[in-house]
Structure 1
């Protein structure tokens, strides 16, 4: 690393760039700069050396005099000494103020030169443009609390890729080096651990090094001098050391370095104005620093912060949601697009390294936004490629991961295994294991007690377990997604979001490997409705992203394929989401059977209805009429889907009721025939969904209750498919009917059941979110009736947030009606007025004349 006495490296960089004729140097320009230097001086400075000089790569030694002399000669100076003399005189000109000549100011200038170089190096090594990053508010607050405390040292502890170094850069700029620094009189010495290590391992101590910087002559002590001359001391001395890394430095050297650091920290007891800030990986903290916790003095001197997790050795939380959004906005993501990201996707982007990879994935000028479903798989794949397969120790890492999978039985026996069992005294695995910890592939949780050593290991994230499980099955089947492999996975795992994720990884492998027969094999499996829906959506999304989806999709699903294998049975209510309209339209171009066409058009109509988009409803009605007029619909029904949807449209658009059609709808029992029928036809499902809306629209909750009860009685097979979105929707409307007819206990039982299903299968399973929204609206009404007003408000406001994201105006109206009643009861007049105003805005935004009576405020 650069010698800490080199005060003019930044100036040298600026002069070299001025001579080269550029303001900012990019890594790919170092080769051309090397040639320019050779042409001018006749001396060769390698491209690698230039990358180190400009901070694009880490250097673990001082720059040679040859390099510095050559660069100075390129800038038209005789040598490095003349360069320094020239700029020293320019910097310390005679008219400088008295303060500029003070010893404190002199040291501050030296520290600033070194710190600026360190910060530039970290900025250049950042995986994204530094100007697109954002300060971590927690880290700023952590450092602020530390500086104002009596502690001598603090540390930012987290796995690799957590953003520790950049957090320190932002903090250094905020407190000491920005345009308007908070503590402008402090000395901040920001160095890399390699810089300190290169000196300390040669016999120096931090105290001796600081004494040398003061240049008072032999025997003078930095800390004692300013303690005895307080009038000359401008503020604090803050030493920031970034990158205590056992992987790069070696455990023996690191422990020696830590011992010297510890001596320095503890010797500052009489000098509280000297502060030390470190960044360190969780694995290194556990190996080296954690041992010191047994000493009472440790907590006295070290500030670990409010978020310290002793089990995982982490004291920095993930990025906040707002910090994630700020970074995306800096990358010119459309704010409207960012606002529509799902909660589960945003949670994953809170990990700084995943956010970095996602931003890189979308950073090219010709790259439009990659669907979040696809992006997650690309980000994870890139992450694992960088951290596992591109590592020199990849074979050892794969051995450890395979052993993890065996011990966890691919996750069936839980998420944790015992560290001793995993490594089994295989010393050759220890370095690779430490890298997996450092790179946040694996996480240790120390549950040891005084008399028992107990360290558990898990994958850092569940999706890493999903990925490696899929790769394990592939390795067992010669990297081919065969029918045998798929059946093996199907038999091995129960229906769950985990099984879907494993299948998606296998599907991705088949797509990227152009294994067309394998892609078709997925849709021959006896999977649940939702599972097939997820897989078909992934295929369509992938080829949409490729740009020319139709020819490629046609090669996978040739003409006639979907007539023999209709997809209408698994294109379900989970597709009622505005972000899936593009997928539905692509599928519509592939649909061949009337059932498939009706299923998609019905979903599009319901979506438009939920958004109170009268014009789109009319377009979809016209298309549904053509489908129903063809006479090819499976099953004979007393009313057609077109007639049921038309009844809803005419009532909302014109406030008119077709009495003849109403009579046919209300006498549905006379026309039901469920003998030996195993499942609904597409047409029946569309009609039954429409009837629920009709009874709601007319405010006839008694009839809605009777309808849902009879449907479950006459068609008990609905009950067997726990995760069927249509079943869950019927249950929600049945709960709504129970509430409106006064049976709160029955409504509560149903609401709790739906909530448990949604929680168990997670938002990654039911990614449409309308069921989750509806359940929360119903729960809010139940809490209100039970006088649990705080819970009612929380549930209703959570539902409102999702309804607004999805633009489901019908749900928003229903929810505002609930909130209005709660606000009225609690005499929250301002909030009540605001809710009524927003309800009115929704009504004004639609050309539907009639709003739903059931959703009016009470």
Structure 2
């Protein structure tokens, strides 16, 4: 009885009884199941001997073997059982199906091992189409071997398991009549022997006669029926990790490749991590023949030594739909990009399992995923201390990131001597990579962290250690001043924010909020902070006490008056912070600022929803001179075509010089919320002089520092637009020059895309006033498209007004009427009275007085 038959019997018995991993207590169950099925007695001890739980002192009897064969025998296994009963290996071509069945049994065993070791449920994994395309080309080509090469965690084993099932094992598979042998490397390679004859070992594994060698046999079969043997070896990293780089493993593969001599009958597929492949390639790089017989794949990248691409966006969507009910299209773009790396999927799945209700609008969860990855690969692994020392050395030798993420490998020679095993594991686990570059014609070997976020994490840790592990104002200033030019400041500040909130130490938050950053960096950091607060409070509600104790919300409201309030992320910020506030007045202020953002869309349903949230009689903002609910009611009246001039609330707001007196009563976020409410109402009510007076009064407050630079820049744009629309060309031209200077020489904080959108609108109106109709149309069309994209209907209507007036000035009445009709349809769809923007009058007056 050959070892193969015994292995196969074990596999078939476990399959029959439905046990994946057998233990001693299962042996009695198996013995009873066999006895019941075949009406023959098999003892528990015999089953224990079969599965290695008891010592075998003699060969199994013919009765025992026949009983076991009778239990497992079916239509798929009759050729296997016949061979076992006859007691002889397969010797001819009388039954090709027998060989397919034997190889299939071994391949299925390997697939089960892959399923068991998968870090997410196997049914959530996907088939990689690129692998099938590459394999199909390789199968029909003259190449004799290929390899799937990638860093750790790219899902090579899962990729191969799907490939084997889809192309070889499932009913009607394309290569179902070929012999596929999908094996884990430990099943094939014997590291204990001095040398190995791979061909002979494979021959024994398949149960072939030793009269003919395996290559001759399959060459003959290929000549007869055109069928092939496909060998697929996976799991090299496990035997290399346990036994080190054993040259004899690679030597046995190279010997077999040389013996194949271009045979079309046998195809070899290897699966290796990048570092192992790099070492294997050293064995063949001087052989022109072997290099010519290697199919590198469609996606091979020599620098990274990889040909397994990251997931495509479509593949991420498919995976995400299996893992989460949260729509992938709403997933943060940075997080979605990171999920293209296969090994991140398992960490994301684990976090979703722990916190299923969390939705991730930023890439915050990626920081949690990174910590899990580092915990697994470094902190909780073998040689953890040595690995950390090496990572620290890499950061220090890079001059703390100022020289980039690559260092000369020779600088680590002393560490290699002491920490060789730790270094090898960092390479095998895909944390570090070696690259060969040329400098002055000489090759040099560089080492770097493969993924930038790992580099940024250790850079943060080292920078913090240089400041005595204290997140002081000096620590944050050092990050901003030292790393803004190489775009590392924001990632480092995010790590600081992440750990500050995670550890419940909110003092550093004040220092972070006081930093002078650019517009984009400020908004990104604030959004990250908001989600981290929200995430932390869901998991540790007691963290609310820290927010209140450190007056975080008051600091946030101060910051909100300084950032870009037209940026779409601003609305997300407000909504998140309002959700985590326990103070009703603070929550109401956040919500009133959301009202500002939504009011520009002129959507009646949204306005009504906001109005219902505010009760002027009992609401915490009841003492505001311009109450949000009153503002909303007046705005709705305007949208419905009603006259608000006699409304008592409007009369109170519209008193002469009341704007300045009104704003003097307030400061910060409430001040600019009320002022914007008034500006929008006055503009839509056609009262441009009041808009101008109100903004000029706001300018006086800039001197006291109560209004932010962003706020002032936006007010300047609105003021320029008001002057341009009112016909005051002298003031409009003066403001246009100021705005051009701002956009050509950005202030700090820098101008935002939203400010540039306003600049487009100002220029469109100015070019119309000056008679430069070509440029007026150019900027007008650009403004319409931008505000359409941003759902800012109020400003979109002003841009349409410019376009229609310009077409009328150029006597293009048809075009003017076309846009008038477009606008009227849009206003009708939104249920907005067309008289609000006077589009009917614009065209009618021009037709009457052409």
2:405 is paired with a residue of what secondary structure?
Answer: coil
Cα distance per residue 1:209-238 (max 9 Å; x no partner): 343356454422333234335575462210
Name which of structure 1's ranges 505-514 and 209-218 shifts more when overlaid on structure 2: 209-218
Question: Do residues 547 (structure 1) and 506 (structure 2) align?
Answer: no
**Within-5 A mapping of 1:740-819:** none
1:190 is paired with a residue of what secondary structure?
Answer: strand
1:355 is paired with a residue of what secondary structure?
Answer: helix
Cα distance per residue 1:280-315 (max 9 Å; x no partner): 011111123245223211332110012211111111
- Check the 8 A contact 2:188/2:201 in 1, yes or no: no
Name which of structure 1's ranges 63-72 and 431-440 shifts more when overlaid on structure 2: 63-72
**Within-5 A mapping of 1:129-168:** 129-168=121-160
Cα distance per residue 1:328-358 (max 9 Å; x no partner): 1112423xx3111233221111000112211
Q: 1:83 aligns with which of 47, 56, 68?
A: 68
Question: Do residues 241 (structure 1) and 238 (structure 2) align?
Answer: no
Question: Do residues 641 (structure 1) and 676 (structure 2) align?
Answer: yes
1:640–1:176 CA distance, 2 compared to 1 (3 A): same
Cα distance per residue 1:168-225 (max 9 Å; x no partner): 1111111101233121111110001111113894754232134335645442233323
C-alpha distance in 2, partners of 1:437/1:219? Answer: 44
Question: Do residues 7 (structure 1) and 8 (structure 2) align?
Answer: yes
C-alpha distance in 1, partners of 2:727/2:445? Answer: 58
Q: How many residues align?
A: 741
Aligned partner of 2:213 in structure 1 is: 221
C-alpha distance in 2, partners of 1:509/1:457? Answer: 28
Name which of structure 1's ranges 578-587 and 686-695 shifts more when overlaid on structure 2: 686-695
Cα distance per residue 1:766-792 (max 9 Å; x no partner): xxxxxxxxxxx989959x9xxxxxxxx
1:454 is paired with a residue of what secondary structure?
Answer: strand
Aligned partner of 1:710 in structure 2 is: 735
C-alpha distance in 1, partners of 2:838/2:408? Answer: 57
C-alpha distance in 1, partners of 2:198/2:779? Answer: 64
C-alpha distance in 2, partners of 1:841/1:12? Answer: 73
How far the C-alpha of 1:370 sits from its partner, in A, is 4.2
**Within-5 A mapping of 1:622-771:** 627-629=624-626, 631=662, 632-634=665-667, 640-647=675-682, 657-659=684-686, 661-665=687-691, 673=699, 677=703, 681=707, 685=711, 688=714, 692=718, 710=735, 713=738, 724=749, 727-738=752-763
How far the C-alpha of 1:838 sits from its partner, in A, is 12
Q: 1:386 aligns with which of 369, 376, 379?
A: 376
Name which of structure 1's ranges 412-421 and 582-591 shifts more when overlaid on structure 2: 582-591
Cα distance per residue 1:142-192 (max 9 Å; x no partner): 111111211000001110001111111111111101233121111110001
C-alpha distance in 2, partners of 1:705/1:123? Answer: 76
How far the C-alpha of 1:243 sits from its partner, in A, is 2.1
1:298–1:484 CA distance, 2 compared to 1 (3 A): same
1:223–1:530 CA distance, 2 compared to 1 (3 A): closer
- Check the 8 A contact 1:187/1:236 in 2, yes or no: yes
Coordinate RMSD, CA, aligned: 5.1
Question: Do residues 558 (structure 1) and 542 (structure 2) align?
Answer: no
Aligned partner of 2:578 in structure 1 is: 585
C-alpha distance in 2, partners of 1:443/1:852? Answer: 64
Name which of structure 1's ranges 843-852 and 379-388 shifts more when overlaid on structure 2: 843-852
- Check the 8 A contact 2:828/2:834 in 1, yes or no: no
1:675–1:482 CA distance, 2 compared to 1 (3 A): closer
C-alpha distance in 2, partners of 1:215/1:88? Answer: 19
Question: Do residues 122 (structure 1) and 114 (structure 2) align?
Answer: yes
Name which of structure 1's ranges 114-123 and 200-209 shifts more when overlaid on structure 2: 200-209
Q: 1:369 aligns with which of 359, 373, 376?
A: 359
1:83–1:369 CA distance, 2 compared to 1 (3 A): farther
Bigger-Rg structure (1/2): 2
1:142–1:702 CA distance, 2 compared to 1 (3 A): farther
Q: 1:444 aligns with which of 428, 434, 439?
A: 434
Aligned partner of 2:312 in structure 1 is: 320
Aligned partner of 1:67 in structure 2 is: 51
How far the C-alpha of 1:368 sits from its partner, in A, is 3.6
C-alpha distance in 2, partners of 1:78/1:37? Answer: 18
Aligned partner of 1:602 in structure 2 is: 593
Cα distance per residue 1:673-692 (max 9 Å; x no partner): 45972756269939946974
